[in-house]
Structures are given as structure tokens and as C-alpha cells.
């Protein structure tokens, strides 16, 4: 038997489970429709061209669409993996001649990888249709914006929910926790600026930028113009921005490593 | 069988993306609406609307009046507008900043006609009358013909749709060239263009065709398999 055969078997099984007809089609329709409906081509007018490129991309993958995407990711990671643990399917998967970490990789490649491919494929296609000059003139801005959005909330939540699913062995509860954390993130992002204004310190903004690098990106491109207490707020430099993005991905990497170690060594079925 | 399933599922996904594009291209892009009604004195003009528009955003304007009027759509780049505002600040240092912000274009036109005026006293009705004179507008338009994006023929009812291709500060001016006061009603609806409807519709049709071609073998196979079971 070829070495990659069991991996492909598990990957195919995961694809079948995660994207039963017509789940994938419904999400593809929602992503494509949302990309064109939620885009605000007139947002933040009067800013620099780079800021316009940033605002276009960030409205293209704004919160309503991002929420649908997060729901798909959480469904796959929490519900998909959770039901495998709950129904005893994982025991069967463990009988394959494959290391545990490869089983989890196959599961995540289906649950996360395919969803990311679908979402960003539609986004880039939409961007090419809506404003081809933006993607060709400012590829680094487009890349950084998507990288920040991908880091938090998408991968950060996926990492957290993965750990909760493995720890609780109940997908439903982990899914609820994921949705609550997503909504909590929205509420906190609203409070952070007022905390900074109230305390007269940028510390809360900087801590939040580590967890959510998109807030640093927004301040870098838009300055303080889009904020309620703009005059008092902090604007990072480009090198600081890369540092916050790196820190965000470091947190995501740590979460996934913890999930892998737990799955590899501590998970008992 | 697996290849047919894989291609079939890719086909159904492409088909759904195509259908979504088709739906999106049919959605009414109007996002906001403002209405304005005002009398315009004989041989005077008004600024009816001014705003910065980014590429693929714009508006639809419809104007109704009791007598023939002319409508001008003027577009100035933000850099040029900044230059004009700087020039106005230097020429009229005591002038209110808000006035320069909102009336940079009429002020520049006024400056063209009356360059020797040190400071237009805006509380003086005579100066105010001079500023909004059709002759001032005509002189301004002659001096800066490159900013005129659209000019209507004299009419009592007209409608025009504008979608910006660049970042522009747009000013809509309505002139009353007659010797009577004219009642003018302006309606402006914001528009957002979907990257040219033709391009989106073409992409949608292409995706739907590819999607159907890829999905049909899988759907037939699926039906055959179900009926056999």
C-alpha cells in the first residue's frame, strides 16, 4: 500500500462529511453573493489610494460575510471533528496505518483548507471583477489585508475551537463557544478605543492589535479618521504593523500546536 | 466515478457562483436619496450638490423646474481642489474656512471675474448677488472647460446618471438664464456600479455554462445510482 493512500482515504472521508451536497454549493452561493452585495465602493473617500485599496478589500470581506465564513469553519472543525469523536469514527480512523497528527492534518485540510480556498478564491475573483487595478497596483495592501483578516478572527477562532472540541469531545458546545467568542470579539473591538481614550493610554489598543492585527492595519492605512476618539489614538508604523501581524500568527501557531500535541499524546477515546 | 464526482461538485460550485453573480448584477444599486427644492433668482445659479466620489460610485440626478434651466456637472481632482482652496486662503485670508470648504468652486469662479476684489463681503447682498451671477459661472466655465463633465441643454425636466471612473470632487450647478425666478426641484440618488454590469453578466453566463457542463455527468450518474438502488 502506498504511504499516502491512508491519508487520501481519510481526506476523502472528511470531504464527504464536511461538504455533503448541497452544503458546499450553498456556502459558495452565499460567499459570491455577499462579496458583491456587501462591498462599499464609496467607503472612506478622500483618503490615499492605498487606504482606498485597503477599505475596498476590508469591505469585500466585511463582518457579515466573515461571519458566514466563520460559521462554515466552525461547523467543520467543531461539529465535524466533534461528531467523529462522539460517534466513535475516530477509533476507526486511528486503526489506519497513519500517525495521529496526519489524521488531524487530513481533517483540517478538508475543514479549513478547502473552505479557505473557496472563500479566498471567490474574493480574489470578485476583486478582479470589481476593481482589477486595485489588485494589480497594490498587491501588498491586498495581501496584508487578507492576511490580517485570516489571522483573526478566522484562524484564531479555528485554533481555539479545535482545542475546545478535543478537550470537551462535544462539537455542539465547542461550536457555541466559537460563535460566542466571535461576537465577543466584535463587542470588545468597540470598547477598546473608548478604554484607550478614558485611560489616556494606548496599551489597550496595542494588546488588541496583537489579538486582532486588522485593527493595527486599519489604523496604519486609515490613520485615526475612522475612529470615534480619533485625535487621541495611536497609529503604528509599517514595521510595527508587521510585528503585530507576526505576533497574531504566532498566537495562532501556538494554538494549533497545542491542539496537535493534545490530539497526538493526550486524547483518549 | 471519483473523478466524475469531483468534477461534478466543482461544476455545481461554479454554477452557484455564476448564479450569485447573476443575482448580484440584478440588484438595484441605489443606496441613498436626497431631495432639494429651491427658487433660483433671474440670471443666477446655485450649487445643488457637492461630494467626493470614488471609482464606481456616482449618482442619478433628476431636475424639474418651472422654466428652462441649465445643469452643469463639474469634476475636480482632490489635488486640484486642494490647490484651489490654498489659493483662496492666500487671496482671502479673513474669509471663513467653512465657506472655502463648501464653496471653493464658486469662489474660484468669482476670483476669475473679479480678481481685484480684496475680500468679498458676504454679508453685503450686492457682493452675494455678484458671486452667484450666471455671468460669473459662464466665465468660470470658459476658464476651466476641462472640469465640465456634463452640460445639459436648456430644459424644464431632465435626468442624468453619473458613475465616476476616478476619485473626483463633483459639484452640480443649476443655472437660471431667464429673467424670471424659477422653482427648481432636484432629486439625487446614490449609485454604486458593479464593475460594469456587462462584465459581471458575462462572467456569470460563462460560469453558469461551465458549471452546467461539469455538473451534468455527475447529476445523471447520481440519478442512475439512486434509481438502481
With 70 as the cut, is the pLDDT of residue B193 above it?
A: no
The residues near B188 (Cβ < 8 Å, ≥ 6 apart) are: B33, B34, B35, B36, B48, B49, B59, B60, B61, B172
What integer is the mean pLDDT of A40-55?
A: 70
Nearest alpha-carbon partner for B194 in B18, B15, B13, B28: B28
Chain A residues close to B25, C-beta within 8 Å: 36
C-alpha span between B110 and A143 (Å, rounded): 47
C-alpha span between A175 and A71 (Å, rounded): 8
- Give the pLDDT of residue A231: 47
- Give the pLDDT of residue A263: 94
What integer is the mean pLDDT of B74-86?
A: 90
Handedness of CA B71, B76, B80, B81 (dihedral sign): positive
Cα of B174 to nearest chain A Cα, Å? 25
pLDDT tens by residue, A89-127? 999 999 999 999 999 999 999 999 999 999 999 999 988
- Give the pLDDT of residue A47: 64
Could you say which of A21, A28, A130 has the minimum Cβ distance to residue B195? A130
**For all residues of chain B together, what is the average pLDDT?**
87
pLDDT interval class at A230 (50, 70, 90): very low
With 70 as the cut, is the pLDDT of residue A232 above it?
A: no
* CB A1, CB A92: distance < 8 Å: no
Cα of B55 to nearest chain A Cα, Å? 7
Point out the least confidently predicted range of A2-11, A41-50, A258-267, B154-163: A41-50
With 50 as the cut, is the pLDDT of residue B4 above it?
A: yes
Contact A129 B200 (CB under 8 A): yes
Q: Which residues of B fall below an 8 Å CB-CB distance to A?
A: 2, 9, 12-13, 15-17, 19-21, 23-25, 27, 52-57, 78, 167, 190, 192-195, 199-200, 203
Contact B167 A45 (CB under 8 A): yes
- Give the pLDDT of residue A180: 94
Task: Give the residue with greater pLDDT, A170 vs A140.
Answer: A140
Chain B residues close to A119, C-beta within 8 Å: none
Any B CB within 8 A of A32 CB: yes
Chain A residues close to B15, C-beta within 8 Å: 25
- Give the pLDDT of residue A267: 85
C-alpha cell at position A76: 467543520
Q: For the whole model, what pTM was predicted? A: 0.77
3-class secondary-structure state, position B103: coil
- pLDDT > 70 fraction of chain B, expressed in percent and rounded: 91
HSE-CB of A261 using CA atoms within 13 angstroms: 6
HSE-CB of B28 using CA atoms within 13 angstroms: 6
C-alpha span between B41 and B132 (Å, rounded): 10
What integer is the mean pLDDT of A53-66?
A: 86
HSE-CB of A207 using CA atoms within 13 angstroms: 11
With 80 as the cut, is the pLDDT of residue A73 above it?
A: yes
Task: Give the residue with greater pLDDT, B172 vs B227.
Answer: B172
Does this complex have an ipTM over 0.85?
yes
C-alpha span between A130 and A172 (Å, rounded): 38
pLDDT tens by residue, B22-45? 998 887 555 667 788 889 999 999
DSSP B152: P
Cα of A156 to nearest chain B Cα, Å? 27
HSE-CB of B14 using CA atoms within 13 angstroms: 19
Cα of B194 to nearest chain A Cα, Å? 6
C-alpha cell at position B159: 435626468
Cα of B190 to nearest chain A Cα, Å? 10
Q: Residues of A numbered 41-80 whose beta carbons fall under 8 angstroms of chain B's beta carbons: which are they?
A: 41-42, 45-46, 49, 52
C-alpha span between B66 and B156 (Å, rounded): 6
Amino acid at each position: 500500500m502506498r504511504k499516502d493512500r491512508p491519508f487520501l482515504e481519510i481526506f476523502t472521508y472528511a470531504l464527504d462529511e464536511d461538504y455533503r451536497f448541497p452544503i458546499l454549493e450553498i456556502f459558495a452561493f452565499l460567499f459570491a453573493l455577499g462579496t458583491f452585495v456587501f462591498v462599499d465602493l464609496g467607503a472612506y473617500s478622500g483618503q490615499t489610494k492605498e487606504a482606498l485599496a485597503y477599505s475596498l478589500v476590508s469591505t469585500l470581506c466585511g463582518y457579515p460575510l466573515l461571519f458566514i465564513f466563520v460559521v462554515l469553519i466552525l461547523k467543520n472543525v467543531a461539529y465535524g471533528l466533534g461528531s467523529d469523536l462522539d460517534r466513535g469514527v475516530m477509533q476507526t480512523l486511528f486503526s489506519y496505518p497513519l500517525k495521529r497528527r496526519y489524521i488531524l492534518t487530513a481533517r483540517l485540510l478538508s475543514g479549513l483548507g478547502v473552505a479557505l480556498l473557496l472563500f479566498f478564491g471567490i474574493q480574489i475573483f470578485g476583486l478582479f471583477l470589481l476593481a482589477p487595478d486595485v489588485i494589480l497596483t497594490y498587491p501588498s495592501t491586498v495581501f496584508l489585508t487578507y492576511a490580517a483578516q485570516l489571522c483573526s478572527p478566522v484562524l484564531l477562532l479555528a485554533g481555539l475551537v479545535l482545542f475546545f472540541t478535543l478537550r470537551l469531545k462535544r462539537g455542539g458546545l465547542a461550536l457555541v463557544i466559537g460563535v460566542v467568542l466571535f461576537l465577543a470579539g466584535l463587542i470588545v473591538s468597540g470598547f477598546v478605543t473608548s478604554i484607550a481614550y478614558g485611560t489616556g493610554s494606548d496599551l489597550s489598543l496595542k494588546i488588541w492589535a496583537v489579538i486582532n492585527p486588522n485593527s493595527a492595519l486599519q489604523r496604519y492605512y486609515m490613520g485615526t479618521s475612522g475612529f470615534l476618539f480619533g485625535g487621541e489614538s495611536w497609529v503604528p508604523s509599517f514595521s510595527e504593523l508587521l510585528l503585530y501581524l507576526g505576533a497574531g500568527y504566532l498566537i495562532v501557531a501556538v494554538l494549533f500546536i497545542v491542539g496537535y500535541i493534545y490530539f497526538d499524546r493526550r486524547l483518549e477515546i | 466515478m471519483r473523478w466524475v464526482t469531483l468534477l461534478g461538485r466543482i461544476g455545481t460550485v461554479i454554477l452557484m457562483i455564476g448564479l450569485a453573480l447573476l443575482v448580484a448584477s440584478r440588484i438595484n444599486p441605489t443606496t441613498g436619496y436626497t431631495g432639494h427644492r429651491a427658487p433660483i433668482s433671474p440670471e443666477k445659479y446655485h450649487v445643488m450638490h457637492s461630494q467626493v466620489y470614488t471609482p464606481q460610485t456616482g449618482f442619478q440626478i433628476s431636475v424639474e423646474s418651472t422654466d428652462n434651466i441649465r445643469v452643469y456637472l463639474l469634476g475636480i481632482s482632490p489635488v486640484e481642489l486642494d490647490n484651489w482652496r490654498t489659493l483662496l486662503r492666500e487671496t482671502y485670508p479673513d474669509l471663513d474656512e467653512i465657506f472655502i470648504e463648501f464653496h471653493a468652486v464658486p469662489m474660484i469662479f468669482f476670483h476669475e471675474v473679479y480678481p481685484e476684489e480684496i475680500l468679498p463681503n458676504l454679508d453685503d447682498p450686492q457682493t452675494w448677488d455678484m458671486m452667484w451671477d450666471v455671468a460669473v459661472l459662464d466665465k468660470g466655465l470658459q476658464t476651466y472647460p476641462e472640469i465640465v463633465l456634463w452640460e445639459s441643454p436648456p430644459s424644464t425636466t431632465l435626468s442624468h446618471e453619473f458613475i465616476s471612473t476616478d476619485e473626483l470632487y463633483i459639484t452640480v450647478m443649476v443655472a437660471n438664464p431667464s429673467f424670471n425666478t424659477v422653482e427648481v426641484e432636484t432629486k439625487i440618488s446614490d449609485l454604486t456600479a458593479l464593475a460594469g454590469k456587462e462584465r459581471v453578466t458575462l462572467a456569470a453566463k460563462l460560469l453558469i455554462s461551465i458549471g452546467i457542463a461539469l455538473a451534468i455527468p455527475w447529476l445523471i450518474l447520481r440519478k442512475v445510482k439512486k434509481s438502481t438502488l
